[in-house]
């Protein structure tokens, strides 16, 4: 039994679901952000698999752009988290409830 | 043999992802993210995307995971706030996980995906030359936009992470 497109797509879906569950489960903003990254790389795995099995390399070029966007996103997001920690003294989501009241 | 290698890397990727989500320790979670990324780079090599595998290791494992570790150490929040998530959180995340997975599994089961073409990698593609030609012809505008985005993000990070200036009139101490 050869490894086909199904296997890669199933793994991609599993990664995305794990990341999604992590976003819902965790309270720490940093771990939440790592779960977002997991969802992003799950999508890149799907793109690369489709590109390989269709024989069109355009998906790989898209992944190149996704990597650049991810680097930008991580830099800005971590800067925001650090600024948040300086101002509020915590990074736990359930203590950042200023909009709740 | 190829199946074994695929399952090894897939287990590495999924196990690392689970470690990110389930680990209590933030540093250990960041290291699990690193492990997951290495598994993903192996999968990219299996998919003949060698350049992307190298870039993934350089950009993600080299820069992003290291940045996460730096921020964890900068914030220095080890030890504090190790509470167990509430039942609402657990239920919501479990249901979200299950629904997402079931939806994709149902789609995959019904979809008529083409049989895997067991051809070799196309000779034209997946090479550095092909990427360069694509980036400088078809995708020239997105490359420019990405460049501006990187510049803007750099400026934004500097502005955001700057220490807030002292107030001109310090508030009267009570």
In this prediction the ipTM stands at: 0.90
The total of structural domains in chain B comes to 2
Say if B96 falls within a structural domain: no
Say if B31 falls within a structural domain: yes
Q: Which residues on chain B are in Cβ contact (under 8 Å) with A75? A: 67, 153-154, 157
Domain span at residue B129? 124-162
Contact indicator for A24, A88 with CB cutoff of 8 Å: no
pLDDT single digits (tens) A32-66: 999 999 999 999 999 998 888 887 778 888 999 99
The total of structural domains in chain A comes to 1
pLDDT single digits (tens) B57-106: 998 888 888 888 888 888 876 555 556 667 888 888 888 888 888 888 88
CATH code assigned at A9: 1.10.287.3510
> Which residue from B6, B17, B77 is facing A91, i.e. has the nearest CB?
B77
Domain span at residue A17? 5-94
**Of residues B134 and B153, which shows the higher confidence score?**
B153
Q: Which residues on chain B are in Cβ contact (under 8 Å) with A44? A: 40, 52
Contact indicator for B30, A34 with CB cutoff of 8 Å: yes
* Cα separation values, B125 from A9, A65, B46, Å: 22, 17, 15
Compute the distance between CA of residue B136 and CA of residue B5 in angstroms, rounded to an integer. 35
Say if B97 falls within a structural domain: no
- In the 3-class helix/strand/coil scheme, how is B62-79 assigned residue by residue? HHHHHHHHHHHHHHCCCC
Contact indicator for B46, A12 with CB cutoff of 8 Å: no
| Residue B142 pLDDT level (bands cut at 50, 70, 90) | very high
Cβ pair A67:B55 closer than 8 A: yes
């Amino acid at each position: 039994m050869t490894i086909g497109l199904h296997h890669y797509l199933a793994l991609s879906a599993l990664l995305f679901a794990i990341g999604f569950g992590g976003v819902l489960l965790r309270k720490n903003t940093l771990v939440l952000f790592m779960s977002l990254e997991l969802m992003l790389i799950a999508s890149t795995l799907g793109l690369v698999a489709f590109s390989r099995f269709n024989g069109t390399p355009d998906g790989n070029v898209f992944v190149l752009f996704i990597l650049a966007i991810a680097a930008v996103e991580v830099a800005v997001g971590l800067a925001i988290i650090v600024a948040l920690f300086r101002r509020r003294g915590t990074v736990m989501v359930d203590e950042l409830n200023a909009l709740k009241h | 043999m190829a199946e074994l290698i695929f399952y090894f890397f897939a287990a590495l990727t999924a196990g690392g992802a689970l470690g990110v989500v389930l680990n209590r320790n933030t540093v250990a979670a960041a290291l699990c993210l690193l492990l997951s990324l290495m598994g993903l780079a192996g999968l990219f090599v299996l998919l003949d995307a060698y350049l992307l595998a190298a870039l993934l290791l350089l950009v993600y494992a080299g820069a992003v995971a290291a940045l996460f570790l730096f921020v964890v150490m900068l914030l220095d929040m080890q030890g504090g706030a190790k509470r167990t998530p509430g039942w609402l959180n657990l239920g919501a995340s479990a249901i979200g996980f299950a629904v997402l997975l079931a939806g994709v599994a149902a789609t995959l089961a019904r979809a008529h995906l083409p049989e895997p073409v067991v051809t070799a990698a196309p000779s034209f593609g997946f090479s550095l030359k092909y990427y360069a030609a694509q980036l400088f012809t078809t995708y020239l505008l997105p490359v420019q936009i990405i460049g501006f985005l990187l510049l803007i993000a750099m400026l934004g990070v500097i502005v955001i992470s700057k220490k807030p200036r002292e107030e001109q009139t310090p508030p009267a101490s009570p």
